[in-house]
Structure 1
């Protein structure tokens, strides 16, 4: 081979190696070219993700993702990164990630093996557990005591999966956490099974008409959603999350949303991080304590 062509090929190989590792990632390429990151959030998943004053997206997961966005902007060396928020439901969140309508979902999605067939997850930012919401005068404490009761569930939720394992129940599908809690308060359902953190918030909002009972029925690692086909973007998200955990930023954000009065709510949930989350904050890595029914 002529020496000219040898030098030309060598120079091309070196140039290829010098390209950013995210050049082949379509999600990152879209973020770079548009200067925009589209974030999905839930309207009623307080304190993780909900509509605050004026409909503005707020919450623990939302603020964590805002911090992630700032670090992603820095890593990509973008002069600016505009954040665009899109409300998503439990039923449509995976489709919105898959079809590219959103690049990141910051809410209360549980990382499960089955879901990892469709989407990818960032690091865990909260450990929830399915529990039961009942009326204040109900003496039942466990799902096994509900007999043939009407139990509200959100279609496609892990609360639905937990409830389906209990024979005899009549499941009542609701569209949202708020609707499920009100169904119990108004007598249209006898119980509502969902993430305990959302139920605790709804019980506070409904001022003593309902209560959260029983032990956790599951262990549910909640994490941001990203596309399964954007491994470089996922790695960027995971590294940014590790940095947030290690420098204490995530713990301060947690304190704001779980141990102080909630913005727009006027009450505090008074929930310090549990052992699993404390360990995640101290030693962040990609390992996930998989979703399990207790």
Structure 2
């Protein structure tokens, strides 16, 4: 090769190597250039993601993602990183990620194989399970006993997938967890199938009008959503979450939201981490115990 060509190639290579290694990822490029991380949250997914009296997002997932944002800022060596919060519904969360309108969704989304075809996920931060809510005087405790019942479900939820396995029941679509619980309490539905953590919280709010019954009917690894075609950002999120688990930050955040009185709610759920989550905190890994119906 001609000496000039060699020098030109070497110069081009040096220039390429001098560029930030993470800039090839469009999601990271956007975060770096804007100095902003846009986080989607849910208003109705307590204790993971809800709002305080002033309408500001709070919750276990929100706290973890704030910690995550601080570590992303440090890794990218950004002088500041603003967090912009965008409310999303259960039905639109995946579209908002795919459209680039949010870079993270921090709520109660289950990591499943079908969903990994659409989006990426961070590490699991809670293991839920589908259970059933009924009125306080209802003696039925199993989904199999609800063959001719009206069952409230949220469109696009894994709870709906679980309830669909029961033949003969009438599914009643509700927009969110609050409405599903109210539908049972008001007699518009006989049962509501959803993540147990959300049902337990709603039962506490409704002060004995409803109850959560039966065993878990699924394994639901809940995790933050990230864009699918953003490998560098996914790696950054995964590494930051591993560090949070190893240094005890995640366990401290968990204790605040599950073992102490909840902000706004003023009661404690008194739920220590189960064995799956305890193991994840001790030995964090990108491997996921996949969503499955039990």
Residue 264 of structure 1 and its aligned partner are, at CA, apart by 1.0
Residue matched to 1:247: 247
Indicate the residue corresponding to 1:270 in structure 2: 270
Q: Deviations over 1:26-84 (max 9, x none)?
A: 11111111111110000010000001120110000000000000000011111111101
CA drift of 1:21 comes to 2.5
The alpha-carbon deviation at position 106 of structure 1 amounts to: 0.1
Deviation at 1:109, TM superposition (A): 0.3
Q: How far 1:14 moved relative to its partner?
A: 3.2
* Greater shift in the superposed pair: 115-124 or 18-27: 18-27
CA distance in 1, matches of 2:49, 2:121: 17
TM-score (norm 2): 0.99
1:142 maps to: 142
Pairing 1:1-294 to 2, within 5 Å after superposition: 1-294=1-294
The Cα offsets for residues 104-135 of structure 1, whole Å up to 9 and x where unpaired, read as: 00000000000001000000000000000000
**Contiguous gaps of at least 5 residues in structure 2:** none
TM-score using structure 1 length: 0.99
Task: Find the residue that maps to 2:199 and give its secondary structure.
Answer: helix
Residue 6 of structure 1: CA displacement? 1.0
Q: CA deviation at 1:7?
A: 2.3
Q: What's the C-alpha RMSD, in Å, of the aligned pairs?
A: 0.8
How far has the Cα of 1:161 moved from its partner?
Answer: 0.2
Q: Distance in 1 between matches of 2:52 and 2:191?
A: 27
State the distance in 2 between where 1:258 and 1:247 align. 19
Alpha-carbon contact 1:21-1:232 (below 8 Å) kept: no
1:76-96: CA deviation from partner (whole Å, max 9, x where unpaired): 111111101011011000000
For 1:88 and 1:36, locate their aligned partners in 2 and report how far apart those are by CA, in whole Å.
18
CA–CA distance in 2 between the matches of 1:215 and 1:264?
A: 29
CA–CA separation in structure 2 for the residues paired with 1:249 and 1:255: 10
Residue 4 of structure 1: how far off its partner (Å): 2.9
- Inter-partner Cα distance in structure 2 for 1:231 and 1:190: 44
Q: Tell me, in whole angstroms, the C-alpha distance in 2 between the residues paired with 1:206 and 1:282.
A: 35
Quote the Cα distance in structure 1 between the aligned partners of 2:51 and 2:9.
55
Gaps of 5+ in 1: none
The SS at the match of 1:114 is: helix
Give the Cα–Cα distance (whole angstroms) in 2 for the partners of residues 17 and 166 of structure 1. Answer: 57
User: Does the CA-based 8 Å contact 1:150-1:191 persist in structure 2?
Assistant: yes
What secondary structure, in the 3-state scheme, does the structure 2 residue paired with 1:22 have? helix
